[in-house]
Amino acid sequence: MTKPRVVSGMRPTGRLHLGHLVGALQNWERLQQTYDCYYFVADWHALTSHYASTETITADALDNAADWIGAGVDPEKSTLFIQSQVPEHAELYLLLQMVTPVSWLERVPTYKEQMEQLADRDLSNLGFLGYPLLQAADVIIYNAHYVPVGEDQVPHLELSREVVRRFHNFYGEVFVEPQPLLTPTPRLPGLDNRKMSKSYNNTIDLSDTPADVLKKIKQMYTDPKRVRADVPGTVEGNPVFIYHDAFNPNRDEVDDLKARYRAGTVGDVEVKTTLAAAVNTMLDPIRARREAVLAKPGYLREILMEGSKRARVVAQETMAKVRAAVKLEY
């Protein structure tokens, strides 16, 4: 019995943080038990918005892959690879462009949103418009059944299915229509209670040292109305307690801290030092695996090249069918 296939990718645009861990990596790790998983570094996708400064992409790719393995993504169980090492993605992307109306891409919600949010970047390039179509190629070239993604990516999967149907109408059945695999994950705010983002400088990174983590958590935003330790505070929506709920497995400690916070009988220092201890305990094994991987020269590169080779075999099989369907066989 073969396992259903899962494909997912991540753009190498900097260090990974707790948001990536909770929002993606913990899920990637779990899925390995049930699915045949393909996880890749979406370096071409990083280029669609970061084309003006490309010098950090390959280093970020390797660093991110170290974090994936740190988080329990296992190269023995899953195929880990690099998008640009499987150039068949680009060939399929080109062929999909023939059957994709430009208006379908213009109406994808992330397109206008990102243009507005990243106003300091010039995103009028064709590559950025094509982002979701390249993503469709990434997924369908492996006949993926499921794609673990966040809520914001659901329209991209919708587009993938529409493009698959249109391709099938012209050329006959070739692909599997991919479905999103949504796992409800708690939204982690950044340290300053804004959205967690590298550009806001409000993240805890998986590669942070225990001392970094303590320092960052000590500066974390809490209930602003609570000017002294004896003022009753609000627990709901308070980032310090959202993090306690997400990372502190000692429920009794968390309940006790919440009760004393509400009553105004606990100081921020105690709430924060216990949180830092919990986060560090959670991160310790991730750091250890990450360091072990980085300590072996060439190991990561080898894993990713090996994985890319395996992925490429599957991608080439699909492309043979695609070329036959389009009647481009010589």
| Binding status of residue 138 toward ligand TRP by CB under 6 A | yes
- The alpha carbon of 306 is separated from its chain's Cα centroid by a whole number of angstroms, namely 22
Region of 7-15, 26-34, 61-69, 92-100 interacting with ligand TRP (CB under 6 A): 7-15
Question: Which 3 state secondary structure label does DSSP give 263?
Answer: helix
Region of 84-92, 99-107, 135-143, 269-277 interacting with ligand TRP (CB under 6 A): 135-143
Phi, psi at 88, each rounded to 5°: -60, -25
| Binding status of residue 188 toward ligand TRP by CB under 6 A | no
Closest approach, Cβ 39 to ligand TRP, in A, equals: 9
Among 96, 147, 254, 275, which residue sits at the site for ligand TRP (rule: CB under 6 A)? 147
Residue nearest to ligand TRP (CB): 9
Enter the tokens of residue 167. 């391709």
| Binding status of residue 180 toward ligand TRP by CB under 6 A | no
Q: Which of 309, 312, 304 is nearest to 64 (CA)?
A: 304
| Binding status of residue 139 toward ligand TRP by CB under 6 A | yes
Closest approach, Cβ 12 to ligand TRP, in A, equals: 10
Among 149, 163, 235, 322, which residue sits at the site for ligand TRP (rule: CB under 6 A)? 149
Closest approach, Cβ 87 to ligand TRP, in A, equals: 15
d(CA 261, CA 131): 46
Helices (H) and strands (E) in the chain, counts: 15, 5
| Binding status of residue 135 toward ligand TRP by CB under 6 A | yes
Q: Which residue, 19 or 189, is less far from ligand TRP as judged by CB?
A: 19
Region of 5-13, 250-258, 261-269, 309-317 interacting with ligand TRP (CB under 6 A): 5-13
Q: Which of 21, 10, 14 is nearest to 243 (CA)?
A: 21
Looking only at residues 8 through 47 of this chain, which bind ligand TRP when binding is defined by CB under 6 A?
A: 8-11, 42, 45
Let me know: does 19 contact 191? Beta carbons within 8 Å.
Answer: no
Closest approach, Cβ 275 to ligand TRP, in A, equals: 28
d(CA 21, CA 36): 20
Tell me how far CA of residue 279 lies from CA of 67, 245, 307, 323, in angstroms.
16, 11, 31, 50
Closest approach, Cβ 184 to ligand TRP, in A, equals: 17
**HEC profile for 103-129?**
HHHHCCHHHHHHHHHCCCCCCCCHHHH
| Binding status of residue 238 toward ligand TRP by CB under 6 A | no
Q: Which residue, 5 or 258, is less far from ligand TRP as judged by CB?
A: 5
Count other Cβ atoms within 10 Å, centred on residue 329: 8
Question: Which 3 state secondary structure label does DSSP give 237?
Answer: coil
Closest approach, Cβ 329 to ligand TRP, in A, equals: 28
Number of residues that bind ligand TRP (CB under 6 A): 13
d(CA 286, CA 66): 10
Looking only at residues 40 through 59 of this chain, which bind ligand TRP when binding is defined by CB under 6 A?
A: 42, 45
Question: In the complex, which residues of this chain contact ligand TRP (CB under 6 A)?
Answer: 7-11, 42, 45, 135, 138-139, 147, 149, 153
